[in-house]
Amino acid sequence: MDLVFRNCINASSFSSENHRNVHPRSKISHSTSQRRNRWSPIRVSSLAAASTAENSRNGTATATRTNRSIASTTENDNKASLRLLGKSSAALEQLDIERGVCVPFRKYSPETVRNKVLESRASIVSLMLRGVEIVWNLGLYWSALMYDCLVGRDKEVVPYRARQLRNLLCDLGPSFIKAGQVLANRPDIIREDYMNELCILQDDVPPFPNQVAFKIIEEELGQPLEAVFTKISSQTIAAASLGQVYRATLRDTGEDVAIKVQRPEIEPIIYRDLFLFRTLASFLNGISLQKLGCNAELIVDEFGEKLLEELDYTLEARNIEDFLENFKDDPTVKIPLVYRNLSGSRVLVMEWIDGIRCTNPQAIKEAGIDVNGFLTVGVSAALRQLLEFGLFHGDPHPGNIFAMRDGRIAYVDFGNVAVLSQQNKQILIDAVVHAVNEDYVEMANDFTRLGFLASGTDVSPSFQLWKQFGRIQLERTF
């Protein structure tokens, strides 16, 4: 894409308080090590004991917080709020136990979301209007699907309905776009034609205006764009649920960089959506536990936790530094450098990745890249993240992975990064060993310990299928 000089917006002056401090590279390893200690995994048994002790103090602590926030309510209302907060805390503790890790600093909690969306009458009205908007639009779409089934044309209009669903999710905003991205990677849930359409949401969402994006960049930089960049692309390189990306050239060094800009006024919308999602999940939780064996509230909690983490680009910058440290001696993996002095909570400036996005496999072949070798590199990088580092990319869809022309694999978008406990790392290693040895009984036990299978599930009918699949993979390998 051609790059053009940016001269369409008058530069605004900002105080020196808006400048971001530069973090010297010499301090990165120290800050990374501190962060790892903060997020260090612990065993489930220890966490369960800590959770039990915390629950014994939960009533007093929660009462103190609640009485400060809703002093004007009646005693009965206070008691109801206490029960709700206690239930929310217990759900998050259960989520930590299932992960096998402890998260001491949370950006998300159900009570935080509730307080934000119910803090004023205007907020409550906005929440009600948002609920009506969601129900109305989804209801119309569902009615159209039912009508197609009644008249017997449901198969004929699938491509149209798939595009309609994608456009509907875009119209409903970032939370629904993110949900569509998740469904695009779940062929076990959604049919292929719908899945292919939802894949477009991974990097081709309608962008917001350049004027708005450039103003946000200037606010984060604290100076005009012309003072930092010699040129910036006239169109977005990619646009997704939470932000969009431009290509630019640094004035000081002449290096090409990618500028990731967050969508404006996105946080209130996400908080309202999360509150509505969790309210619905509380009604459906009994059914989901009985029929599907999963906790609907925990699913929403984990979705909300990751979504709010992705809104903080300073956290993403630290994630990139962690990955740089982990793969610093691996010549097969490329992690972009991050420019901390030019980044903030809404803007992230990174090294430009000159590769081929994996959403275009034909272009990878045409570039002469050894596809089998590239896949081997990708598998090796993924296994190192899971089994060696315990820190892995949480959103590795094809739009976030590039094939470099020298055969390396490159990752982008580190907003969603997950931590694996030492115990779960060991279980995964056991599962790999059992798969190689064709010990499928023990491998099934490993999957149960990881929570992939419900306890008591009869997996014996799958043993023969697993054995055939394993032999096919060995034949392909050798």
What confidence tens digit (pLDDT) does each residue in 197-207 have?
998 888 788 99
Which one is predicted more confidently, 168 or 454?
168
Q: Is residue 396 part of a domain?
A: yes
Q: Is residue 414 part of a domain?
A: yes
Domain hosting 72: range is: 40-102
Confidence bin at 185 (pLDDT 50/70/90): confident
Instruction: Give the mean pLDDT of the chain.
Output: 78
Q: Is residue 376 part of a domain?
A: yes
Residue 392 shares a structural domain with residue 436 = no
Confidence bin at 66 (pLDDT 50/70/90): very low
Share of the chain above pLDDT 90, in %: 42
**Res 79 pLDDT > 80:** no
**For residues 169 and 183, what is the distance between their CA atoms, to the nearest angstrom?**
12
Q: Which residues are catalytic?
A: 395
Choosing from 102, 121, 151, the residue where a domain stops is: 102
By the 8 A CB rule, do 323 and 390 touch?
no
**Per-residue confidence (pLDDT) for residue 360, from 0 to 100:** 87
**Per-residue confidence (pLDDT) for residue 322, from 0 to 100:** 94
**Per-residue confidence (pLDDT) for residue 47, from 0 to 100:** 34
Residue 316 shares a structural domain with residue 391 = yes
Out of 7-21, 99-113, 359-373, 463-477, pick the least confident.
Answer: 7-21
Average the pLDDT over 66-95 and give the result.
47
Residue 356 shares a structural domain with residue 473 = no
Q: What angle do CA 328, 202, 216 make, to 5 degrees?
A: 80
Confidence bin at 88 (pLDDT 50/70/90): low
Residue 254 shares a structural domain with residue 316 = yes
| Nearest to 243, CA basis, from 297, 205, 198, 286 | 205
Average the pLDDT over 182-190 and give the result.
81
**Res 221 pLDDT > 60:** yes
Residue 318 shares a structural domain with residue 428 = no
- Helical segments of 152-191, H only: 158-172, 174-183
Residue 392 shares a structural domain with residue 445 = no
**Per-residue confidence (pLDDT) for residue 465, from 0 to 100:** 62
**Per-residue confidence (pLDDT) for residue 448, from 0 to 100:** 82
**Res 258 pLDDT > 60:** yes
CATH number at residue 352: 1.10.510.10
**420-458 pLDDT per residue, tens:** 888 888 888 888 888 888 787 788 888 888 877 767 777
**Res 29 pLDDT > 80:** no
How many domains does one find in the chain? 3
Query: If you search the block for the tokens 């982008």, which residue do you land on?
Result: 412
Residue 247 shares a structural domain with residue 359 = yes
**Per-residue confidence (pLDDT) for residue 152, from 0 to 100:** 84
Residue 252 shares a structural domain with residue 394 = yes
**Per-residue confidence (pLDDT) for residue 220, from 0 to 100:** 93
| Nearest to 370, CA basis, from 316, 417, 414, 409 | 409
Q: Is residue 400 part of a domain?
A: yes
**Per-residue confidence (pLDDT) for residue 44, from 0 to 100:** 34
Q: Is residue 397 part of a domain?
A: yes
Residue 437 shares a structural domain with residue 389 = no
**290-334 pLDDT per residue, tens:** 766 678 888 888 889 889 989 999 999 999 999 999 999 999 999
Choosing from 401, 419, 437, the residue where a domain stops is: 419
**Per-residue confidence (pLDDT) for residue 204, from 0 to 100:** 82
Residue 393 shares a structural domain with residue 427 = no
**For residues 366 and 74, what is the distance between their CA atoms, to the nearest angstrom?**
70
By the 8 A CB rule, do 416 and 394 touch?
yes
| Nearest to 271, CA basis, from 173, 138, 167 | 173
β-pairing, 401-403 with 391-393?
A: unpaired
Q: Is residue 359 part of a domain?
A: yes
Confidence bin at 172 (pLDDT 50/70/90): very high
Residue 358 shares a structural domain with residue 426 = no
Residue 320 shares a structural domain with residue 409 = yes
In DSSP notation, 305-358 reads HHHHHHT-HHHHHHHHHHHHHHTTT-TTEE---B-GGG--SSEEEEE---SEET
Choosing from 403, 419, 435, the residue where a domain stops is: 419
**Per-residue confidence (pLDDT) for residue 298, from 0 to 100:** 86
Give Cα separations from 343 to 30, 250, 315, 377 (angstroms). 20, 13, 11, 30
Share of the chain above pLDDT 70, in %: 73
Q: Is residue 438 part of a domain?
A: yes
Q: Is residue 52 part of a domain?
A: yes
**Per-residue confidence (pLDDT) for residue 1, from 0 to 100:** 44
Residue 261 is inside which H or E element, if any? strand 256-262
Question: Looking at this protein, which amino acid is placed at residue 155?
Answer: K
**Per-residue confidence (pLDDT) for residue 379, from 0 to 100:** 92
